[in-house]
Amino acid sequence: MKKTNKGFSMVELIIVIAIMAILAGALAPALIKYINKSRISTDIQTGQTIATAIQTALSNETGYDCAVALGTGSIEFTDDYYGSSQNDVFKKSVASTVGGTKAPTIKSKKCVAKTSKSTTNTNKHFFFKVDPAKNEVFVYIGGDHQVYPTADKCLTDDEETNCAH
């Protein structure tokens, strides 16, 4: 019986690996850009969900009173909303409307790491400001960059230069 060589030679395999490495190097920057845009888009959507949850909580009279007691300063949306006492109708309502068992965390990395105000888990939490008298809700990521009602230009621009606050 005659034995025939089947398969690829070492040179052919090295050439294929080199071509794949070149393609990966060329496509990686574009892929990373799209991943970052996707993360920012997710954060904006989560901010809208949080704002809707806050507005829903404000529609309850007891929840409204709890929100007034919080004040109009920047408030960090953390896991303690999910373990709140029954007396805090506002926190309970917001947590149940947002869903899950923990506070949502920030997915994007753009801009946030430079200026976060988070005290519990740096760069991970959403913040919000509520003005019950004016029925206004603002949601921020990292404490500085607004995602609701409109997103900061820093988040939607491709340039990193607009990130400083």
The 10s digit of each residue's pLDDT in 51-86 is 999 999 888 888 888 888 887 788 888 888 877 665
pLDDT value of position 18: 97
- Is the pLDDT at 110 greater than 80? The verdict is no
In this predicted structure, what is the pLDDT of residue 112? 60
| Cα–Cα distances in angstroms (integers) from residue 154 to residues 28, 39, 55, 118, in the given order | 23, 14, 26, 19
- The confidence score (pLDDT) of residue 165 equals 47
pLDDT at residue 38, rounded to an integer = 92
Choice among 9-13, 21-25, 88-92, 156-160 with the minimum mean pLDDT: 156-160
CB 50, CB 99: distance < 8 Å: no
CA dihedral (85, 62, 50, 159) positive or negative = negative
pLDDT at 3 over 80: no
**3-state DSSP helix/strand/coil percent for the chain, to nearest 5?**
50, 15, 35
**Spatial separation of the C-alpha atoms in residues 34 and 37, rounded to whole Å:** 5
Claim: this prediction has a pTM higher than 0.85: no
Q: Which of 72-76, 94-98, 106-110, 119-123 has the lowest mean pLDDT?
A: 119-123
Contacts of 34 (CB under 8 A, 6+ apart): none
Say if residue 119's pLDDT is above 60.
Answer: no
